[in-house]
Chains A and B, each alone.
Chain A
Amino acid sequence: MNFLDFFTRLLAATLAMGTSLTYATLGEVYTEKTGILNLGMEGTMLMGALAGFATAYNTGNLLVALLAAMLVGAALSLIHAFLCITMRANQVVSGLAITMFGTGLANFLGQRLGPATNNYNLTGMNLASKFDNIAIPGLSRIPVIGALFDVSVLTYALYFLLPFAWFFLYKTKHGMVVRAVGENPRTAAAMGISVSKIRYLYTIIGGMFAGLGGACLSLSFIPSWNEGMTGGKGWIVIALVIFSAWNPGRVVIGTLVFGGITSLQFSLQAAGFKMVIPAQFLGFSPYLITLLVLTAMTIINQKKRGSFASPAALGTSFAIDDK
């Protein structure tokens, strides 16, 4: 296998893996921009994966499946929004609760929504159709970069959603309102903005994206249902938001790097390289790298404050009559 081929394949694998991460990260960026931290991503993504797969399996309609994943994501994050915004609960604990509930419920429903022949279990079932890659004639033949033009609809959609998110948050008036709520809710409220309404809205939107991210896994990347199939991706997402410094423009760098590292081991194996490092070490390497990069980023951020800082009000509750 030649060099160009290897990189084309690596990029293709990275895009396939990174799509799910990018959706969820983008969603979490929207949510955190308004000052709400949603640690429920892992559970929301798993519920999205389950809802998407179960719907696609039972109806055969992929679009309805995507819709179901978004709805489920919205519902779970609505619970989070209610707890954090209306009931002023601790956002960290609420997010953990959403993850635990979502994970449990998804695994439970996975044992309930399957066909009777498989004891109602969805594990091991196949889909009639999945989101296949669509190659754009001509463009997809370019070495390496061609991989960008031979992806599923879900990935193509990101080519628009990412720039849109950046433009929306930084170049429109409503985007400024969103950022104001996350930076200084008191001032935003004084300007007549309904802080709670904005926070509810973007927490729910974030959940929809997370649901989609989960559905990308079960409808395209590994078209199947497995208990705990997100395998910690929802937590990587939280780290990716920090790496991207809450800027959708930088989200893609993070997801490419992390998708790339994870795909690299498979690509190397496929290319016939003999593995010197034990498989388990490669398995936890993305988490080790996340840990190291997170530490490095945090230290760098402290040295030069400014464009890398988190929304000032992130993780705090807000009520107009608080002293």
Chain B
Amino acid sequence: MRFSLEKRDYRSKKMTILVPIVSLLVSFILGAIVLSISNANPVRTYAAMLKGAFGSQTKIQYTIVKAIPLLLCGLAVGIAFRLKFWNIGAEGQYISGVIGITWVMQFWTFLPTYLLLPVGMVVGILFGAMWGGIPGLLKAQWSVDETLTTLMMNYIIIGYAEYLYINAWKAPRGNMGTILYPEAAWLPRIWGRVHAGLYIALILVVILWFVLYKTRWGFELNMIGKNQQAARCQGVSIKRNIILAMLVSGGIAGLAGVIDSAAVTHQLTKGVNSGYGFTGIIIAWMSGLNPFVSILVAIIMAALETGSDALQIMKLPSAMGEVMQGLILIPLLAGSIFTEYRLVLHAKHKEAGV
């Protein structure tokens, strides 16, 4: 008996749905093994995490508040991934957005208060787009490796943001953080801690789904990702699309930062490098780059984060959430082969006969 892989004619629909679900289960089992090895009871730990994420109304609200920027980062990364542009810089683009809105809130005092939020959001999005656009331009113009440029730009903006909230823009009181945005310019809350950013994120999901699946531009992005040569032959401008996609991707990551700071932190301060941009990569890949599926994955990822905060109280390592997030991709990557290939069993005698 011998196994071999045979390429399918079409991507298997069943497998595309089944693989992520099975992967999620496998990663929870692997996580349980990690927990048992490190002397923690897996069942108790998972129960505590579940309770920490969804145990009460307030906890559900916290999880949703976390899921909003995560979802946006996932969408941002997903657009770039569509044309196989490996944007690992959503983190930096997010921070760039926060810097943009903070700049407006702090220094554009000539604006009437009711304009601060909309103008701040636009500037933040533009800042994010700029931070995403630079690696896009470098890739399109000179094919500079984007994994490195986007990543290096993360470190640059993290350092710059730190300079701003510790030195240049520091509020007169305290030792770090800018002054809070004017209260009238905060993003309003709609249910407990959940804020109006939820609407923006959900509307964006619908818009993106439409753009990516129903318009010519979405079709072009897909074509570039699948077969650059064919796209070029069809007259699709690859350079233009890379830059455009990165502007949009960076803008959405910037929007994530804008929303989170306008609604939750109300300032630029420590913790702005939240890791949302990196988790966005997991969300994009797990959702198969589908905006609607991203909602579900973002909630799972947010639950892992709020759930592991609860572990600290139990004197268990809060880094368990990080382990789980990292683990999820591994079985998924291993399983993806079954969407494009099928496993074939050969009996030995048959092979000899041929």
Interface residues of A in 97-129 (CB under 8 A from B): 97, 100-105, 107-113, 119
A89 adjacent to chain B (CB < 8 Å):
yes
A112 engages B38 (CB within 8 Å): yes
B145 engages A283 (CB within 8 Å): no
B337 adjacent to chain A (CB < 8 Å):
yes
Which residues from chain B contact A104 at a C-beta distance below 8 Å? 319, 321-327
Nearest residue (CB) in A for B332 is: A97
Bitwise interface map of B from 312 to 337 toward A, beta carbon under 8 Å scored 1, else 0: 00010111111111110110011111
Bitwise interface map of B from 87 to 113 toward A, beta carbon under 8 Å scored 1, else 0: 010000000000000000000000000
A22 to B319, CA, bound (A): 29
A191 to B341, CA, bound (A): 27
Bitwise interface map of A from 212 to 245 toward B, beta carbon under 8 Å scored 1, else 0: 0000000000000001000010010011001000
A284 engages B155 (CB within 8 Å): yes
B152 adjacent to chain A (CB < 8 Å):
yes
A278 engages B167 (CB within 8 Å): yes
B159 engages A281 (CB within 8 Å): yes
Query: In angstroms, how far is the closest chain B Cβ from the Cβ of A179?
Result: 21
Which residues from chain A contact B318 at a C-beta distance below 8 Å? 111
Known interface pairs A278-B167, A280-B163; A96-B281 also in contact (CB < 8 Å): yes
B220 adjacent to chain A (CB < 8 Å):
no
Which residues from chain B contact A242 at a C-beta distance below 8 Å? 145, 148
B56 adjacent to chain A (CB < 8 Å):
no
A295 engages B155 (CB within 8 Å): no
| Contact pick for B149, options A79, A88, A291, CB 8 Å | A291
A168 adjacent to chain B (CB < 8 Å):
no
Query: In angstroms, how far is the closest chain B Cβ from the Cβ of A309?
Result: 12
Known interface pairs A96-B281, A238-B148, A284-B160; A302-B143 also in contact (CB < 8 Å): yes
B116 adjacent to chain A (CB < 8 Å):
no
Which residues from chain B contact A109 at a C-beta distance below 8 Å? 38
A87 to B142, CA, bound (A): 32
Indicate the member of A90, A93, A319 with the most B CB atoms within 10 Å.
A93
B292 adjacent to chain A (CB < 8 Å):
no
Known interface pairs A39-B147, A105-B323, A108-B322; A100-B156 also in contact (CB < 8 Å): no
Bitwise interface map of A from 258 to 299 toward B, beta carbon under 8 Å scored 1, else 0: 000000000000000000001011011001101100110011
Known interface pairs A87-B334, A295-B149; A100-B278 also in contact (CB < 8 Å): yes
Nearest residue (CB) in A for B279 is: A100
A294 engages B145 (CB within 8 Å): yes
Nearest residue (CB) in A for B165 is: A280
B260 adjacent to chain A (CB < 8 Å):
no
Interface residues of B in 212-266 (CB under 8 A from A): none
Interface residues of A in 121-157 (CB under 8 A from B): none
A87 engages B317 (CB within 8 Å): no
Which residues from chain A contact B54 at a C-beta distance below 8 Å? none
Bitwise interface map of A from 293 to 322 toward B, beta carbon under 8 Å scored 1, else 0: 011001100100000000000000001010
A83 engages B333 (CB within 8 Å): yes
Known interface pairs A96-B329, A298-B145; A89-B155 also in contact (CB < 8 Å): no
| Contact pick for A105, options B151, B326, B334, CB 8 Å | B326
Binding site for B on A (CB under 8 A): 39, 43, 79, 82-83, 87-90, 92-94, 96-97, 100-105, 107-113, 119, 227, 232, 235, 238-239, 242, 278, 280-281, 283-284, 287-288, 290-291, 294-295, 298-299, 302, 319, 321
7 contacts between A and B (CB under 8 A): A79-B330, A92-B86, A105-B34, A108-B320, A109-B38, A110-B319, A295-B149
